[in-house]
Amino acid sequence: MADNVNRKLLRSIPKIDQIIASPLLKDPLDNSSREVVIDAVRRAVNDIRTDILEGETPDISVETIARAALDILSSTDRRSLRRVINGTGIILHTNLGRARLNARAAEQVTAVAMGYSTLEYDLKNGERGSRHDHINSLIREVTGAEDAIAVNNNAAATLLVLMALTYRKEVVVSRGELVEIGGSFRVPDIMKVGGTILREVGTTNKTHLYDYEKAINENTGALLKVHTSNYRIMGFTEDVEPARLVGLAHKHLMPMIYDLGSGLIPDLHDYGLDEPTVASALKAGADVVLFSGDKLLGGPQAGIIVGKKRYIDTIKSHPLARAMRLDKMTLAALEETFRIYRDPKQALEQIPVLSMITQPLDQVESKAEAFTRMLREANLQASFAKLDGVGRVGGGSAPMLNLKTWAVAVLPSDMSVDELAIRLRKWRVPIISHIQDGMLLLDMRTISDDEIEPVYMALVDILS
Ligand SMILES: *Cc1c(COP(=O)(O)O)cnc(C)c1O
């Protein structure tokens, strides 16, 4: 122990019992176990002791230590995977969990998870059923496919399809479509893992039908089209229409596999969304179509495979299908999501991804306007303004769409913009903002009506 240590201060640290008796700790004592609270108090006392041993002279009042214990309690109480508020304007933000699940699906997940369920039970005959059957007829109804199976995500779906249909065979892909998604999914790599031989054809900007045709030989297993979901090649370009690729594949008695990426159900061209729909891919004749559950579909994380029954049967019976099968919660969410799509108008209202994309700009503006006014009236240490800007669909979808949007810009007067961003991230319900031109922006397209109140409370608290 160093000589400058204040032994008197060390000896005067209040006893654990004294601190526990503080009215500040009454609430946690009533609501959680006594051991947990005592442990937090011990840790707070240890921190004080360490400070004193290091030559500091901290405040050792009961109140201060009790407050430190409260901080410890609330930080250890915090979950790692938590809900956040997305003020970035990116609707499918991969780091923030991609699609917000629709409310009906979330309710159905809870019901199925908390009780027993018909996961693999056939109620009619009182015998074993198949988990694949829950979503089959719905997906057929909504997309027009002959058959369907869903697995854990679209990367898994791609791997499964390649292993089941083209193992040790060549698959022909255009060089313009060798996609990488989010760093960990690369078409050439997944093909290698799937035991498929990649046969690249054409060039980055132009691939013709005859490029595919020349590459076909007796060991070719399929033609693969990959939707360039997170980029577009502009300028002097050419690719082959899905229907023409199907024609070529069928002429050579092989399937055309189409990795769509996003899985858009309703046609949203009117909203500027240049994305093919699942139905259009099937209508073009694609034999197997794959897409994600949590991109534009707005459902849970999943990889959905739809197409001709004979191929889906082969895929279903592959041993890997068992390793990639969905759990009951995801199946419940997926079934409910597809139920919503039975009525396209209902889908635009109830699927959050779609309602955010299609929300009229003037509605977003009035939301920004009202929130700006509300914040100005609170007399905070900051100035506020509504600002127009450009949001993104994100999540590897519709990369060319500049989604016009409105944000509330915040310029704090007694802290930096970075400091404000950090404080918002540390808020009870963390708020993720973005900084642009020295201002903190909260995009009102991705902040829902029920989230305005918590954002307001956070700003009032931080900026008072
Ligand atoms: C997003 C995407 C994938 C990967 O889907 P996950 O569901 O994230 O596994 C595969 N292919 C394409 C074209 C994609 O856009």
How much is the pLDDT for 4? 64
Q: Which residue, judged by its Cα, is nearest atom 11 of ligand 1?
A: 261
How much is the pLDDT for 447? 97
Q: Which residue, judged by its Cα, is nearest atom 14 of ligand 1?
A: 261
CA 226 to chain centre: 21
Judge if the beta carbon of residue 181 lies within 6 A of ligand 1: yes
Q: Compute the mean pLDDT over every residue in the chain, rounded to the nearest whole number.
A: 93
- What is the average per-residue pLDDT within 46-67? 93
Q: Which residue of 94, 154, 179, 189 sits with most ligand 1 atoms within 8 Å of its CB, as the best mutation to test the pocket?
A: 154
What is the torsional sign of CA 272, 277, 280, 284?
Answer: positive
Instruction: For 80-110, write each residue's pLDDT tens digit.
Output: 899 999 999 999 999 999 999 999 999 999 9
Q: Which residue of 151, 174, 185 sits with most ligand 1 atoms within 8 Å of its CB, as the best mutation to test the pocket?
A: 185
How much is the pLDDT for 183? 65
Q: Which of 277, 282, 343, 330 is nearest to 303 (CA)?
A: 330
How much is the pLDDT for 179? 87
What whole-number distance in Å separates Cα of residue 92 and Cα of residue 392? 8
Helix (H) or strand (E) holding 394: strand 382-394
Angle between helices 449-463 and 417-425 (to 10 degrees): 120
Residue 207, helix vs strand vs coil: coil
Nearest atom in ligand 1 to the alpha carbon of residue 229 is: 15
- What is the average per-residue pLDDT within 382-399? 86
How much is the pLDDT for 230? 84
How much is the pLDDT for 308? 98
Instruction: For 287-312, write each residue's pLDDT tens digit.
Output: 999 999 999 999 999 999 999 999 99
Choice among 80-84, 180-184, 256-260 with the minimum mean pLDDT: 180-184
Instruction: For 409-455, write each residue's pLDDT tens digit.
Output: 999 999 999 999 999 999 989 999 999 999 999 999 999 999 999 99
Choice among 160-174, 191-205, 256-270, 396-410 with the minimum mean pLDDT: 396-410
Q: Which ranges of 231-385 does DSSP label H, i.e. alpha helix?
A: 242-251, 278-283, 309-316, 319-323, 328-340, 344-350, 352-358, 361-377
- Who's near 375: CB < 8 A, 6+ residues apart? 382, 384, 408, 410, 456, 459
User: pLDDT confidence of 182, banded at 50, 70, 90?
Assistant: confident
Judge if the beta carbon of residue 155 lies within 6 A of ligand 1: yes
The alpha carbon of 60 and the centre of ligand 1 are apart by a number of angstroms equal to: 56
Instruction: For 202-243, write each residue's pLDDT tens digit.
Output: 998 999 999 999 999 999 999 999 999 888 888 888 889 999
User: pLDDT confidence of 398, banded at 50, 70, 90?
Assistant: confident
How much is the pLDDT for 377? 97
- What is the average per-residue pLDDT within 266-284? 93
Q: Is 112's pLDDT higher than 70? A: yes
The alpha carbon of 235 and the centre of ligand 1 are apart by a number of angstroms equal to: 25
Phi first, then psi: give them for residue 183, nearest 5 degrees. 80, -30
- What is the average per-residue pLDDT within 315-337? 97
Q: What percent of the chain has pLDDT over 70?
A: 99
Q: Is 399's pLDDT higher than 90? A: no
How much is the pLDDT for 3? 58
Q: Which residue of 178, 229, 262, 278 sits with most ligand 1 atoms within 8 Å of its CB, as the best mutation to test the pocket?
A: 229
How much is the pLDDT for 404? 92
Judge if the beta carbon of residue 185 lies within 6 A of ligand 1: yes
